A and B are shown apart, each in its own frame.
Chain A
Amino acid sequence: MLRTGRFVSIMAVAGLLFLYIPILLMMVLSFNASRLVSVWGGFSLKWYGELFANDQLLGAAWLSVKVAAVSATLTVVLGTLAGYVLTRFGPFRGRAMMAGMVTAPLVMPEVITGLSLLLLFVAMEDFIGWPQGRSPTTIIIAHATFCMAYVTIIVQSRLAQMDGVLEEAAQDLGARPWRAFVDVTLPMLAPALVSGWLLAFTLSFDDLVIASFVSGPGSSTLPMVIFSKVRLGVSPDVNALATLLIGFVGACVFIYSWRVGRRARQRDA
C-alpha cells in the first residue's frame, strides 16, 4: 500500500515536472540579462522594456486578442444554436448528417481546413466582392468555423443533461418558446457557454496554421509573429511576452477556481 502510494506520488511529480519545467525555464530566461539562451547573464527586466517598445509584437498580440474575442463570441452564438437544434428538435430529416458535419472540423487536418477556407475566400471575393482581400475578418470567420465544433459539443452535452421539461414548464406558465429559452435555458447553459467561449478564445488565440492561410498583409496574429521571429533565432522579448501571458492566464484560473469554491461552500452552508 505504502509502496504504491510512493510510486504514484513519484510519477505525479515526474509528470508535473515534465509539463512545467519548459514553462518555468522560459519564465526564468525572460529575466535573463544575456541575449544568449544558454548563458545566464544576471537578473534583468530589460526584455520587458524592449517588449513594450516593440510595436510589431504588441500590435500582433492585440490583434490576436480581438480576433479571438470576436470569433469566440460568434462561435458561442452559432454553436449554441447548433447544439440546441441537435438536442431539442427531435429526429428531423438530415439530423445525423448535420451532427456529423458540425463535428467534422474536430478531426479535419488544420492544413486542409486552412487551405479550403483560403480557396473559399478567394472565390467569394471574385463572385460577390466580399470579403475584400485577406484581413482580420477572414481570420475571424475561419476561426469561428473550426471552433464551432467544440462549442456545439459542449452545449449539446449540457443540454442533454438538462431536462427539457424545464422549458415545457416555462411555456406552460405562458412563456413563448423564445422567451422560455432566454429565461430558463440560457441561464442554465451559462456555465457551458462561458467555458465554450474560453475554449474558443484559446483555440483561436494560439492557432497558427489556419491563420497563416487566411491572413493578409498587415494582419499577422501573435503566433504568426512569434513563429517568424523564432525562425531568426529565439529572442528574449518573446519570453517576456509569454511570461506575461502565463501570468494573466494563471490569475484568471486562480480567480475562477476561488469563485467556484466559494459558491460551492455557500451552497453547502
Chain B
Amino acid sequence: MSSAIETQPVGTAGGADAAPFVRIEGITKRFGAIVAVNRIDLDIQRSELFCLLGGSGSGKSTLLRMLAGFEQPSEGRILIDGQDMTGVPAYERPVNMMFQSYALFPHMSVSDNVAYGLRRGGVPRAEIRKRVADMLDMVKMGDYAQRRPHQLSGGQRQRVALARALVKQPKLLLLDEPLGALDKKLREETQFELMKIQAQLGTTFIVVTHDQDEAMTLASRMGVMRDGRLVQVGGPRDLYEFPADRYVAQFIGAVNLFDGVLIEDEPGHARMRCEEAGCVIHVGHGVTGTLGQTVHLAIRPEKINLAHDRPAQDENVTPGTIDEVAYLGNLSVYQVRLDTGRLIHVTLPNLDRHEGNVFEIGNRVYCSWGPASAVVLPA
C-alpha cells in the first residue's frame, strides 16, 4: 500500500525471519450484513506491545474479542504460538484479557478475584496463595487483598484487573482500553507502569485503544483500523512521519493537508504547485505519479516555522496573518490565515520564559518549512 513512498521504512519489530507469535490470517467477521472486521492479516512478534488504534466502530474490539475467543471469525484463522485457535473456546486459550470495565467479580475479595483463574486451572492451594500475593505486590495492591472491588478507587480496580489477567502467566495478554476509565494524570502514570510490567514479564500485549497519545506512548508497534480494515501498521514514528493516507495523518496528531499538482518528479525530490498553500512545495522524496496529477500533501504543525521577515528561499514559503493564538505552556499553537484564504496550524516551542508568545494576533508572518518536512500521501 505504500509503493508511492520509497523512503518509508518497513516497520518490523522482531526481525523478518522470526516466526510470528500471533498470526492473524485473512480474518473477517460479519454480523448479519455488517462487516465488522474485513480481511485482516497481521503478524505480532513475541514480547511485543502492539496497539490497535481506531475510532469507535472501527472493528478493533471485535478483533480483540476474536483473539480472546468470545467471537468466532466468519473467515480466516488465528494462530497463537503456532497453534490454530479455530474452534478453541475462550476458556482453553492461552490468552487472558483485561476488560474495559475491568469486570471484577463484585462478590469476591481482591485476592479471590486474582486467584480465580488459578483455582480454575487446578493450581495447588499453597502455590495459589504465593502467586496471588506476588502479583498483588507487583501491582502495589498487597495491602488491599481483603477488600471488595466496590471499596477500591478506579485506579486500584485497574491494577487488580491487571493482576487478575496476568497471574495465569498467559502467553498473550489482551487489554481493551486499559486506561480509558482513569483520569488524565493517573493515565499518564499508569501508562509507564504498564510498559514497565510488560518489559519485566516479557508477555506479548495487544492493547486496543481509541486514544492516539496512549497508543504512541505504549506501543512498540501499532496498527490503525478504520471501517474494519487495517489501514497501516508500523512503529509510532512510522505512522506519524509516514502516514499511509489522509485518515491516518489526521487520526494521529494534528496535520495541515493540502492538494497539489505534480510539476516535477525525480527519484530524489518532487515539486508540487499548490494553490491553497500559495507556493510551490518541494519535498525531498520521489513520488511515483504522472506530471499534472493531483496529490495530497501533509505538513505537521510543528514542522512549520514562522518569521516576521521573508526567509531567503523561493519554495516552501508562504505569507499570512496570525488569526488566533493558544498558549499551552510548553508550546503555543498559532492559527495562521494564509493570503490564499486557507487557515493552517503552526506550533512553536516556548523557549524563552520571559517572552510569552513570539507572535501576536494580526502580525504579518511568513510560514516556511524544509524539503524534509512535508510528506506526499498516496491516498
Contact = CB atoms under 8 A, between A and B. Distances in A.
Contacts of A183: 105, 116
Interface in B258-317: none
A173 B116 contact: yes
A175 B120 contact: yes
B144 to A, nearest CB: 16
A168 B90 contact: yes
A51 interface: no
A173 B95 CA distance: 9
B120 A179 contact: yes
Interface in B66-103: 68-70, 89-92, 95-97, 99, 101, 103
Given A179-B120, A183-B116, A267-B150, A174 B91 contact: yes
A170 interface: yes
A169 B103 contact: yes
Interface string A157-172: 0000001011011111
A57 B67 CA distance: 64
B168 interface: yes
Contact of B96 (A165, A172, A177): A172
Interface residues on A, range: 10 to 19
Interface string A167-201: 01111111111010001100110000000000000
Interface residues on B, range: 20 to 34
A175 B106 CA distance: 17
A217 B91 CA distance: 54
Given A168-B90, A179-B120, A187-B107, A173 B99 contact: no
A172 B105 contact: no
Contact of B99 (A165, A179, A187): A165
A160 B91 CA distance: 23
B121 interface: yes
B349 to A, nearest CB: 44
B164 interface: yes
Given A179-B120, A183-B116, A188-B106, A172 B90 contact: yes
A173 B120 contact: yes
Given A173-B116, A174-B91, A267-B150, A168 B164 contact: no
B117 A168 contact: no
A161 to B, nearest CB: 12
Interface in B145-169: 150, 164, 168
Nearest to A174: B120
Contacts of B95: 172
Interface string B198-211: 00000000000000
Given A175-B120, A176-B91, 5 more contacts: A165-B99, A166-B105, A168-B99, A174-B120, A187-B107
Ranked nearest first, the 10 interchain pairs of A and B with the lowest CB-CB distance are A173-B117, A169-B103, A174-B120, A165-B103, A171-B90, A187-B107, A171-B91, A172-B97, A175-B120, A174-B91
